[in-house]
Amino acid sequence: MNVTRRGFFLSGLLAAVALSVASGPATAQAVAAKEKVQVRFTWKLKGEYAPLFVALDKGYFAAEGLDVTLAEGQGAQTVLRLIAAGTENIGYGPAVAAAQAVSQGMPVTVAALYQTKAPMGVISFPDVPLTGPKDLEGKRIGISVGETFTDMLEPFTKINNVDLSKITRIQMDNSARTSQFLSRNVDVMSVYLSNELPVLEKKTGVKFNVMRVSNHGLNLLGASYYVSSEFAKQKPEVLRKLLKATAKGYQDAMKDPKGAAQIMGKHMRVKEDPAVLVAQVRATVESTNAPAGKPVGWQEEAQWKNQLNLLMTTGAIKERKDLKLYYTNEFLK
């Protein structure tokens, strides 16, 4: 190599080294600048969570400067207790559980509501009559700690004048409910129409009897973000960014449920049939709270008043706190 070429080579090498030194720390600083956020689901991964994974996969969280982890949970009550204790900051699950937690004095609030009517039902095999709530009398039902309908079974029976003493409640781990139902050891089982029902119908080839609980007075507020009251005070901008990115994930899922299901499928630890995931996502987006002229997840005062009236009337809560403690739209503005 001649002197001139060697000079150009060394100059280029030094420039590259200088650029690397200059840009390396900046890049590391940019990565470090992303706010780490963990969202704790109230249950295992399922198609209902697809909009959040769409936001993750398409970089909507990252574009807001957030490094988001979406983590599985073990029941709404457990997640809410963790948030109240400060062990967790943000959860994602049925808002009705948060309403009960706030009424018990837990320092949590609902920052966004994605389902004003939880897509919940009770199912039975075709040979087991299930046309209405009264048909639950004389039946065996599997119940589990932390399962939403288990928590609301007593209110549901009160609303519909069903004699709870005539229902045989069999306590079991939630993971055992499905196998016990399919083995006919219990007669009826509660399911989310956006989760278990598509799985069971695909697995068995059976078209089950379905009693949608919202058609019988139990209109429960569904999927929502739970937030620690302290975290909401300390990190309002983080929550605004989280909800903004999540809304984009929901909008994409509503436009393309099949695409959202494919994204969800990539994140499933236990792989699910693609057709089942599509059915789960469709059931989710069909019940999504997207009011005209308002951000996805916007909450109405009337919805919360009705929910608290229901819970008070049925004895599911003993005290109704100030309405502003239960929910806020502040982070959607």
**Number of structural domains in the chain:** 2
CB of 43 within 8 A of CB of 50?
Answer: no
pLDDT bracket for residue 28 (50, 70, 90): very low
160 and 301 belong to one structural domain: no
Question: Which residue, of 216, 240, 262, is where some domain finishes?
Answer: 216
37 closest CA partner among 60, 79, 68: 68
237 and 124 belong to one structural domain: no
Q: What's the confidence (pLDDT) of residue 21?
A: 40
**What number is the average pLDDT over the span 15-41?**
61
316 and 241 belong to one structural domain: yes
Q: What's the confidence (pLDDT) of residue 18?
A: 41
256 and 282 belong to one structural domain: yes
Q: Which two tokens stand for residue 208?
A: 């089950």
211 and 262 belong to one structural domain: no
Q: What's the confidence (pLDDT) of residue 315?
A: 82
Q: Is 19 part of a structural domain of the chain? A: no
CB of 264 within 8 A of CB of 53?
Answer: yes
pLDDT higher than 50, residue 25:
no
294 and 317 belong to one structural domain: yes
The whole-model pTM stands at: 0.80
pLDDT bracket for residue 76 (50, 70, 90): very high
Q: Is 24 part of a structural domain of the chain? A: no
Q: Which two tokens stand for residue 38?
A: 């963990």
Give, in degrees to the nearest 5, the angle at Cα 75 between 69 and 77.
105
193 and 314 belong to one structural domain: no
211 and 276 belong to one structural domain: no
194 and 328 belong to one structural domain: no
Q: Is 3 part of a structural domain of the chain? A: no
232 and 320 belong to one structural domain: yes
Amino acid in position 139: K
Contacts of 228 (CB under 8 A, 6+ apart): 83, 84, 86, 88, 89, 90, 107, 108
**What number is the average pLDDT over the span 113-138?**
96
201: containing domain: 120-216
| CATH code of the domain in which 140 resides | 3.40.190.10
The 10 Å Cβ neighbour count of residue 182 is 15
Mean pLDDT of the chain: 89
**What number is the average pLDDT over the span 118-132?**
95
**What number is the average pLDDT over the span 25-53?**
81
- What's the pLDDT tens digit per position in 307-323? 999 888 878 899 999 99
242 and 328 belong to one structural domain: yes
Question: Which residue, of 171, 197, 216, is where some domain finishes?
Answer: 216
Q: Is 158 part of a structural domain of the chain? A: yes
- What's the pLDDT tens digit per position in 190-234? 998 888 899 999 999 999 999 999 999 888 999 999 999 999 999
pLDDT bracket for residue 161 (50, 70, 90): very high
Question: Which residue, of 173, 192, 216, is where some domain finishes?
Answer: 216
pLDDT higher than 70, residue 11:
no
Q: Is 303 part of a structural domain of the chain? A: yes
Question: Considering the chain, what percentage of its residues have pLDDT values greater than 90?
Answer: 76
Q: Is 6 part of a structural domain of the chain? A: no
233 and 321 belong to one structural domain: yes
